[in-house]
């Protein structure tokens, strides 16, 4: 049986047949991938090292004297990290072209001296993954690099910059007088953080790089209607959902739009009405 499987529970040495292991963390882009896969799977011809040739050769593998060939990609979370479009293409082509071909070949080929089964195991290796609840605390503590200025950091959203997904958070600053009046200014700072670890990569002041066209001024109300009886449990479920979304992006390069919209709506449910727009403005656009 041929398959592509995303897992952390596979020991490559326990697999039957011929097993080839590659390190996804050193494969950053399409060129890296083609060079690595050509060498790892011993493709006979190197004159035309391109994607179409790769698809042709990966549906052959007749030079392996084994009924089963296993390709194990370790550190799949870092695989093709500089080209998520290529990562998505790899997964889509495996699901729609390569694996269906091999499933058919398993039935039709009787020559036991060539491969009749091809399996791909994507070992997620998200050991450095920080759960959302802890990640939020880390971002809040490090946002201002220790400066003691009254501020608040938003719940995280997903943002896409230069073709890559990040965690994004905005910051608003306030005074005790503003809190007493229940009216504050709009966010004036925001940051991008690593999707896996939550480490802040880049900070921006909106005067230098804007994310919203909302006007400035202390005209944003803090009024909020808390209808949920157990807000703590509500947010715990919401953050678990965000963990699922982040892991899927890390491992497949895909953002589940339906699941993400559910997350975003859950976050905005307990945000002052006047501030909801900033979550939308900072978030990825579909």
If you search the block for the tokens 């880049």, which residue do you land on?
Answer: 202
Give residue 122's pLDDT: 93
* Last residue in a domain, options 94, 123, 152: 123
Residue 7's Cβ-count burial label (10 Å; 0-12, 13-18, 19+) is exposed
Q: What is the mean pLDDT of residues 40-67?
A: 89
Domain end, chosen from 123, 152, 186, is at: 123
Six-digit token pair at 27?
Answer: 């494969």
**Residue 171, Ramachandran bin (φ over 0: left; ψ between -120 and 50: alpha; else beta):** beta
Same domain, 105 and 136: no
Residues 89 and 168 in one domain: no
Range of the domain at 156: 132-282
Shared domain for 100 and 194, answered yes or no, is: no
3-state helix, strand, coil in the chain (%, to 5): 40, 20, 40
Among the residue ranges 12-16, 27-31, 133-137, 237-241, the one predicted with the least confidence is 12-16
Tell me how far apart the alpha carbons of residues 242 and 283 are, in angstroms, rounded to a whole number: 13
Q: What is the arrangement of strands in the sheet containing 117-123, beginning at the earlier edge strand?
A: 3-7, 117-123, 68-74, 18-23
For the chain, how many residues are written? Answer: 286
**Distance, C-alpha 276 to centroid of its chain:** 24
Tokens standing for residue 179: 């809190």
pLDDT value at residue 286? 76
- CA–CA dist 39, 30 (Å, integer): 14
Q: Indicate if 261 and 149 belong to the same structural domain.
A: yes
- Do residues 26 and 160 both lie within one domain? no
User: Residues 80, 171: one domain?
Assistant: no
Region 27-48 average pLDDT: 91
Residue 241 has pLDDT above 70, yes or no: yes
Q: What is the CATH number of the domain that holds 52?
A: 3.30.370.10
For residues 255 and 248, is the Cβ–Cβ distance under 8 A?
yes
With bands split at pLDDT 50, 70 and 90, how would you rate the model's confidence at 11? confident
Q: Find residue 119's DSSP bridge partners.
A: 3, 70
Residue 114: band (very low, low, confident or very high) from pLDDT cuts 50, 70, 90:
low
How many angstroms from the chain centroid is the CA of residue 101?
A: 28
The one-character DSSP state at 99 is H
> Which spans in 131-230 are helix H?
132-142, 176-181
pLDDT-derived band at 106, boundaries 50, 70, 90: low
pTM of the model: 0.65
CA distance 265 to 48: 48
Burial class (CB in 10 A: 0-12, 13-18, 19+), 214: middle
Residue corresponding to tokens 């943002």: 159
- Cβ-Cβ contacts under 8 Å for 241 (sequence gap 6 or more): 259, 262, 263, 266
Judge if 139 and 222 occupy the same domain: yes
Q: Which is higher by pLDDT, 6 or 9?
A: 6
- Number of domains making up the chain: 2
End residue of a domain, out of 102, 123, 144: 123
Do 150 and 53 fall within a single domain?
Answer: no
**Does the pLDDT value for residue 91 go beyond 50?**
yes
Q: Identify which of 279, 235, 275 has the alpha carbon closest to the alpha carbon of residue 136.
A: 235
| Together in a domain, 111 and 213 | no
Predicted pLDDT of residue 229: 62
Task: State the number of CA atoms in the 13 A half-sphere of 283 facing the CB.
Answer: 20
CB 256 within 8 A of CB 267: no
Q: How many CA atoms lie within 13 A of 247 on its CB side?
A: 19
Let me know: does 187 contact 154? Beta carbons within 8 Å.
yes
């Amino acid at each position: 049986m041929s398959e592509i499987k995303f897992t952390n529970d596979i020991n490559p040495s326990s697999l039957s047949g011929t097993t080839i292991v590659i390190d996804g963390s050193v494969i950053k882009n399409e060129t890296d991938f083609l060079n690595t896969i050509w060498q790892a799977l011993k493709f006979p011809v190197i004159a035309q090292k391109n994607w179409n040739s790769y698809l042709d050769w990966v549906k052959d593998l007749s030079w392996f004297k084994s009924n089963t060939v296993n390709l194990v990609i370790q550190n799949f979370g870092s695989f093709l990290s500089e080209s998520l479009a290529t990562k998505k293409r790899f997964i889509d082509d495996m699901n729609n072209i390569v694996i269906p071909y091999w499933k058919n070949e398993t039935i039709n080929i009787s020559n036991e001296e060539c491969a009749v089964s091809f399996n791909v195991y994507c070992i997620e290796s998200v050991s450095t993954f920080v759960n959302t609840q802890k990640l939020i605390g880390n971002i809040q503590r490090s946002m201002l690099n220790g400066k003691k200025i009254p501020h608040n950091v938003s719940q995280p959203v997903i943002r896409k910059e230069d073709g890559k997904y990040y965690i994004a958070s905005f910051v608003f600053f306030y005074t005790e007088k503003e809190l007493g009046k229940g009216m504050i200014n709009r966010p004036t700072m925001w940051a991008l953080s690593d999707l896996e670890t939550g480490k802040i990569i880049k900070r921006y002041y909106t005067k230098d790089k804007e994310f919203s066209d909302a006007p400035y001024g202390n005209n944003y109300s803090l009024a909020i209607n808390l209808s949920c009886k157990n807000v703590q449990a509500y947010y715990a479920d919401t953050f678990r959902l965000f963990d699922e979304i982040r892991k899927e992006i890390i491992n497949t390069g895909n953002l589940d739009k339906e699941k993400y919209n559910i997350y975003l709506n859950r976050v905005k449910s307990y945000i002052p009405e006047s501030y909801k727009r900033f979550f939308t403005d900072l978030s990825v656009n579909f």
